[in-house]
Structure 1
Amino acid sequence: MSTNGHSAQPEQLDVLVVGAGFGGAYQLYKLRKAGFSVKVFEAGSNLGGTWYWNCYPGARVDSDFHIYQFALEELWKDWEWTEHYPGQKELANYFAYVDKKLDLSRDISFDTRVTAAHFDTTTDRWVVSTEAGRIVHPRFLVLCTGIGSKPLSPDIKGLDTFQGATHHTALWPQGGFDLAGKRVGVIGTGASGVQLIQETAPVASHLTVFQRTPNFALPMRQKKIDSATQTRMKAEVYPILLRRREQTFAGFHYEFTPRNLSDLTPEGRYLTFDDLWTRGGFHFWLGSFLDILTDENANAEAYAFWRKKVLERVHDPEMQRKLAPEVAPHPFGVKRPCLEQQYYEVYNQPNVDLIDLQQNPIAEITPKGVKTADSVEHELDVLVLATGFDAVTGGITQIDIRGTDGTLIREKWGKSLSTYLGMTTANFPNMFFLYGPHGPTAFCNGPTCVELQGDWIIDCITHLREKKYTRIEPIKAAEDAWVEQVNAIFSVGLWDRSNSWYIGANVPGKPRQSLNFTGGVPLYFRLCRESAEGGYTGFALSGTEGTDGPTDSESA
């Protein structure tokens, strides 16, 4: 044995999966079933990915219960949800159920953070190292690090001097943290901020919200789900709903209205908007008119309707101005709206203050609290950083991953993001990633994305085994063409009119570009299938099992 407690001879694997959320769990189950030797390394202490780490008060999914789960009948037939939009604790229980049913943990190393992965061109294997010094040599590396696994903390003067408790929503204490009776400050009003704010306001002695940009939040319409309803759904529509995910833009069971706003009369437009609003969830965003995200006039009308609905719920004119300004700070829907339950009513409470950072920015953090530009010191017991993530790419680039020429992936993508099919990148052979850069990621229901991409990856690795290839990597020309296509589709929309994490604008120094495929799920997976059906066009397949290294490359 070596001094670090691991075998002196590195473990040889067919596949190493990094991350044990939806994506990692699915890869493990399906790859193991296909006969591959596979292990999962997970930095957390349990399954769940984002639902392990994000355990702050109010954490909740924004997809309907019946599609936010694995589409495997052996799982859904015996599982029952309690709410239409399940909370973090219920999702953690779901992962425990999945683990027991599929016996996943026996092949997962928890509390194991991958720090480096270097490709060995002499063996066509990855050399993967962990924080604790464990080394494994997988043939294939599958990164399931997710959309938000690198929390982003603000660079604010004096942040380390605050004498109260400071917690990032994505790194919340696993045992919980009681906010009742405390003076709480929350920086950020993205999804995690909105969820935490509406849970905290009723129990905090005082809540101060520091808002940079108002969130165009939509009504969740939360409700309890009874056993009889689910029994009927499983017998009648579950398989249909789960198959339907592949057919809609965002992997939900509903789709954009197949009309433009201008096709209807003003009365027809209003009634359609009102119906979508009443349905709740993302219907008003992703079930609305086709031109909402591409036409400025249509978008402005959607914002005006949204604003009218919000103003009805907020009493104070100054609060109305901050939360729903007359002139939209950016087009509706080009920054991710979140779902809320009583978020706007919070600002009618006398114990809640809202600081508009556009007019009154934070000057510094002091030992007692937050001092704003007007020299007012907001004294706090707890400071919550709801400041989001280095999203989509950050979970991958935070690892020391080096390709065939020794280039770090963070250096390659630091100049300009480039992938092929949103699952691979040139000069990094035998490496796949899902629910990540240039996939439909931010615009797709999570389980939908990881299962569809996951099946493509598993089929690809199976094809290589059958053909006895040891190496696959995208051709640079195919990668360049994919990037061009991603950018061309992106340019049609209004996405670039905001400083959102969709385009990396929330991270200082990060290139401003499309991080996602914005053409929708059906188009994305048609393009992926076309490559596979053509023998993996756009890829170079090489090497032969049993040799010491690769043979001459050949295009598939």
Structure 2
Amino acid sequence: MGSLCPYDYDLDVLVVGAGFSGIYQLYHLRKLGFLVKIFEAVSDPGGVWAAHFFPGARVDVAVPGYEFSSEDLWKDWYWTERYPSQKELKAYFTYVVKKLDLRKDMCFNTRVVEARFDSYQNKWIVKAENGSTARTRFLVTCLGFGSKPYTPDLPNLLSFRGNGGVLHTSRWPSEGVDLKNKRVGVIGTGASGVQVIQEIAKDVQHLVVFQRTPNMALPMQQTNLTKEIQDEEKKLYPTVHRRRRQTAAGYPYDMFPKKLFDASPEERLLLLEEIWRTGGFSFILANFNDILTNPTANEEVYAFWRQKVSARLKNPELQEKLAPKIPPHYMGAKRSSLEQHYYEVYNQSNVELVDIMTYPITEITTSGVKTPDKEYELDVLVLATGYDSVTGGITQIDIRGVDGTSIEEKWKDGIYTHLGFASSGFPNLFFVFGPQSVPGVCAGPTCAETQGEWVIACIRDMTKQGLTRIEATREAEIRWRQQVMDEASSRLISTARSWYMGANVQGKKREILMYTGGAAKYTQICKDIAEREYEGFMFSSNGEEHRAKL
């Protein structure tokens, strides 16, 4: 049960979202004596892990990389798997909230729908769908990069009348859905698609997968964890948690310190085999340090991946559909998914793969999905179509700044922020894990802490100096936007039609949505800005505005 909250609050800080970032903000701001509350849309803490109940849902970051770094939290907590399931992650967040005594300051089932800045009071007036209101000096959004589901424009989608209906992976019923012996169609082969497909294939009567672009999925190499194993590993946890702050993606490992073609053929093969066996994102993020910038090096890594995957597929036609000779994009330019037995699923007689680049979906009928050559009769249609990522969670809230312009209107033709933390015209509003910072390219808990520390320190410093208002300058956000674009232009990530670029959402401006220079570099830039008296920000106190002078 969610906590029962009064309908009206007067706060120092309102945090929106109760995932890693929101919990970190609440705990540390409260320790500093601020009056803080969290408004959370669902009924439990954990962000996406409190809301995602689809079959096979689990994290793609190995523990202990996917947990808070505080010893007070990890010393008594034990995982059962290297890559925990949604159920176990939900239990972890319940443990953290109880351990830190946070629930009393968390308002659940409280979806924020509107925020207006009152320039006279220098406060945000925030309203929730359930009628709750907060007047708050600072508003901190901690919405992650996947909080607004995306459903593409599928002709006549609402007409589908299968006996199991239409299900979006992000809106799966918490009580589950019985798919046994049913005819199921899955549209989409991103992360949730891969997880659902490999989980349900063993139980359904027939499974039809509608694939637009093959997923360059990587082996998870899942393992069970015992208490004894973890007790031994915990001797190194402090080092592991310090190390993850020093790397490009917030993991305890980093790119191999050599370019691919500077290595001998033997060294190349041995490293690729080693990181393949290690599993997870190490195949991308512990690989030779030029594979994400050098097309030729990337192609060699793809060839290795293709050979490994093709060996698991019996049908040559499926080999070409799932691991084509000509890659659909550079490896790592889209976020790879982690899999356990995804490719073996397609060897089953009850599984069918439809290439919708060749045979596009023309219509959803009352009983299935129609392509130019066939209609597929289904009982259940699963939409694994992802999210309006990075910006969608923010812009779906009607946030209006000093001149009444909404953040959605401001960002319609391009995102402008300073450091990904703040946007001109929206005082006292901070984004954590937001656009033009490092969402999607940094392990969530790592950047919840590093970004969170910056916001907390800024609020603390302002309070000490009696400053009432902070706002990014227009000049600073123009410079930062250009810096974000420049970093991406030198990397292969900017070449693919991915959610990294906003390209998965029809009508959304195509641009890089995050800083791609690496989490450690980004953190240092933010630290330097703070040490230069918060360069690029305007502050005010008692109605007097001035450049950052803390």
Which residue type is aligned with residue 95 of structure 1? F
1:199-278 → structure 2 map (5 Å cutoff): 199-234=199-234, 236-278=235-277
Displacement of 1:11 in angstroms is 2.4
Q: C-alpha deviations, 1:460-508, integer Å up to 9, x for none?
A: 1000110010100111111111111111111000122211000000011
Paired residue for 2:112? Answer: 114
Looking at structure 1, the residues matched to 115 and 19 of structure 2 have their Cα atoms a distance apart, in angstroms, of: 20
* 72-81 or 175-184, larger mean C-alpha shift: 175-184
Contact 2:182–2:380 under 8 Å retained in 1: yes
Paired residue for 1:321? Answer: 320
The answer as to 2:540 corresponding to 1:554 is no
Looking at structure 2, the residues matched to 87 and 138 of structure 1 have their Cα atoms a distance apart, in angstroms, of: 36
Which residue type is aligned with residue 323 of structure 1? L
The answer as to 2:121 corresponding to 1:126 is no
Looking at structure 2, the residues matched to 319 and 219 of structure 1 have their Cα atoms a distance apart, in angstroms, of: 18
Other structure's SS at 2:521 match: helix
Paired residue for 2:532? Answer: 534
Looking at structure 2, the residues matched to 197 and 115 of structure 1 have their Cα atoms a distance apart, in angstroms, of: 34
Gaps of 5+ in 1: 545-549
Contact 2:533–2:548 under 8 Å retained in 1: no
Other structure's SS at 1:495 match: helix
Looking at structure 2, the residues matched to 148 and 475 of structure 1 have their Cα atoms a distance apart, in angstroms, of: 28
Looking at structure 2, the residues matched to 6 and 107 of structure 1 have their Cα atoms a distance apart, in angstroms, of: 11
The answer as to 2:334 corresponding to 1:335 is yes
1:148-547 → structure 2 map (5 Å cutoff): 148-164=146-162, 165-234=165-234, 236-374=235-373, 376-544=374-542
The answer as to 2:67 corresponding to 1:74 is no
Q: C-alpha deviations, 1:215-246, integer Å up to 9, x for none?
A: 00000000001111111122x20011011111
Displacement of 1:267 in angstroms is 2.4
Looking at structure 2, the residues matched to 198 and 381 of structure 1 have their Cα atoms a distance apart, in angstroms, of: 18
The alignment's C-alpha RMSD in Å is 1.1
Which residue type is aligned with residue 121 of structure 2? T
Other structure's SS at 1:221 match: coil
Looking at structure 2, the residues matched to 244 and 265 of structure 1 have their Cα atoms a distance apart, in angstroms, of: 29
Other structure's SS at 1:420 match: coil
Looking at structure 2, the residues matched to 194 and 430 of structure 1 have their Cα atoms a distance apart, in angstroms, of: 40
Contact 2:207–2:351 under 8 Å retained in 1: yes
Which residue type is aligned with residue 277 of structure 1? W
What number of residue pairs does the alignment pair up? 543
Looking at structure 2, the residues matched to 367 and 100 of structure 1 have their Cα atoms a distance apart, in angstroms, of: 47
Paired residue for 1:547? Answer: none
Paired residue for 2:100? Answer: 102
Looking at structure 2, the residues matched to 358 and 96 of structure 1 have their Cα atoms a distance apart, in angstroms, of: 43
Looking at structure 2, the residues matched to 55 and 356 of structure 1 have their Cα atoms a distance apart, in angstroms, of: 27
Looking at structure 2, the residues matched to 398 and 75 of structure 1 have their Cα atoms a distance apart, in angstroms, of: 33
Paired residue for 2:13? Answer: 15
Q: C-alpha deviations, 1:16-58, integer Å up to 9, x for none?
A: 0001111111111111111100010011011111101111010
Other structure's SS at 1:11 match: strand
Looking at structure 2, the residues matched to 450 and 178 of structure 1 have their Cα atoms a distance apart, in angstroms, of: 36
Which residue type is aligned with residue 254 of structure 1? Y
Which residue type is aligned with residue 179 of structure 1? L
Contact 2:152–2:505 under 8 Å retained in 1: no
Displacement of 1:6 in angstroms is 6.0
Which residue type is aligned with residue 188 of structure 2? G
Other structure's SS at 1:506 match: coil
* 176-185 or 387-396, larger mean C-alpha shift: 176-185
What is the TM-score when the length of structure 1 is the normalising length?
0.96
Looking at structure 2, the residues matched to 413 and 532 of structure 1 have their Cα atoms a distance apart, in angstroms, of: 25
Contact 2:44–2:50 under 8 Å retained in 1: yes
Which residue type is aligned with residue 252 of structure 1? Y
Which residue type is aligned with residue 64 of structure 1? A
Looking at structure 2, the residues matched to 369 and 188 of structure 1 have their Cα atoms a distance apart, in angstroms, of: 16
Other structure's SS at 1:242 match: helix
Contact 2:37–2:105 under 8 Å retained in 1: yes
Other structure's SS at 2:12 match: strand
Q: C-alpha deviations, 1:260-309, integer Å up to 9, x for none?
A: 11101222212211111111111111111111111110111111110000
* 508-517 or 535-544, larger mean C-alpha shift: 535-544
